[in-house]
């Protein structure tokens, strides 16, 4: 996946109304690669939002985080492919069979529709889950890092295109999976922005330098600090930071 710097930004449209979402798309289309429709927007306005963003020329990452029995996830993935989304995701904890069903359904539906196959990503361990919760609450033993690597390899084996992971896990996943395996990371904060509720953060430049394929950025771009200006100014700064990171380290291959 070769990308220009601006194309590596996924703007999280975490707003409750269609008009707010579409206004952000109009403003930010020239300076970002994808728009992420998450559970809030999806459940507020419905799946038709994907088409309306596509009509404005935006590419959509439908962050539906599917997890169910393989047959149900297969149906959801077919519907997500028909929605016009270019990236969709499932939970890796749904297991290998479920992930295979997702990958096959998306590939098959895309052929039927004669559209480019959407990328299918796996959510590993949510960044809101730490080792204590994982070990004691979920009764999954070991470190979060080991579990994330295990799930990323499972996702790769099942035929997914990549995973979503915290910036802290980029390097270890990169070492454990193939070169074309995508790593998409939220928890990204430019130095000029507020951390908000994100805890384990990295700047856009750092995340790209460590090997992130795409970075998910929400509030720093959609609600930037006053001194930065509006969303377009904020996005431009993030693009510049990515360009700088790529220039400083010529060994980083855009993925």
Residues near ligand C5P (CB under 6 A): 12, 14, 38, 126-127, 164, 186-187, 196, 198, 216-219
196 vs 248, beta carbon nearer ligand C5P: 196
What separation in angstroms does the CA of 142 have from each of 133, 136, 146? 11, 11, 7
CA 247 – CA 250 distance, rounded (Å)? 6
State the minimum distance, in angstroms, from the CB of residue 209 to ligand C5P: 19
Q: Tokens 């193939």: give the residue.
A: 178
Q: Which is nearer to ligand C5P, 108 or 145 (CB)?
A: 145
Minimum CB separation of residue 91 from ligand C5P in Å reads 11
User: Which CB atom, from 44 or from 248, has the smaller least distance to ligand C5P?
Assistant: 44
H or E stretch covering 54 = helix 48-55
Q: In a 3-state reduction of DSSP, which class is residue 120?
A: strand
- Helical (H) or strand (E) element with 185: strand 182-185
- Residue 81 vs 222, nearer CB to ligand C5P: 222
CB 8 within 8 A of CB 182: no
Beta-bridge partner residues of 120: 88
- Give the number of residues written for the chain: 255
Distance CA 167, CA 205 (A): 11
Smallest gap, in angstroms, from Cβ of residue 216 to ligand C5P?
5
Give the nearest residue (CB) to ligand C5P. 218
Place of tokens 């009764």: 139
Pick between residue 80 and residue 164 the one whose CB is nearest to ligand C5P.
Answer: 164
At its nearest, how many Å lie between ligand C5P and the CB of residue 50?
16
Find where tokens 């993030």 sit: 238
| Least CB distance to ligand C5P at residue 240 (A) | 18
Look up 247 and say whether it is catalytic. Answer: no
Please tell me which residue in 2, 29, 65, 210 is annotated as part of the active site. Answer: 65
> 227 is written with which tokens?
């001194």
| Tokens 């291959």, located at residue | 253
CA dist 241 and 247 (Å) reads 10
Q: Which residues are catalytic?
A: 65
């Amino acid at each position: 996946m070769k990308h220009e710097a601006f194309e590596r930004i996924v703007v999280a449209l975490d707003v409750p109304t269609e008009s707010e979402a579409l206004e952000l798309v109009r403003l930010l289309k020239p300076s970002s690669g994808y728009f992420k429709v998450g559970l809030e927007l999806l459940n507020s306005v419905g799946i038709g939002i994907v088409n309306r963003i596509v009509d404005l020329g935006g590419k959509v990452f439908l962050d539906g985080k599917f997890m169910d029995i393989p047959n149900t996830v297969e149906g959801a993935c077919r519907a997500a492919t028909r929605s016009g989304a270019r990236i969709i995701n499932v939970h890796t904890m749904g297991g290998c069979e479920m992930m295979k069903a997702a990958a096959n359904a998306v590939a098959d539906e895309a052929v039927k529709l004669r559209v480019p196959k959407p990328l299918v990503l796996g959510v590993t361990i949510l960044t809101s889950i730490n080792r204590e919760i994982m070990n004691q609450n979920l009764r999954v033993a070991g470190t979060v890092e080991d579990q994330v690597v295990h799930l990323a390899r499972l996702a790769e084996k099942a035929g997914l295109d990549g995973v979503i992971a915290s910036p802290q896990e980029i390097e270890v996943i990169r070492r454990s999976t193939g070169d074309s395996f995508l790593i998409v990371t939220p928890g990204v904060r430019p130095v000029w922005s507020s951390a908000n509720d994100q805890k384990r953060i990295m700047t856009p430049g750092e995340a790209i330098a460590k090997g992130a394929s795409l970075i998910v950025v929400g509030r720093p771009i959609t609600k930037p600090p006053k001194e930065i200006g509006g969303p377009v100014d904020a996005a431009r700064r993030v693009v510049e930071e990515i360009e700088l990171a790529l220039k400083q380290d010529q060994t980083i291959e855009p993925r």
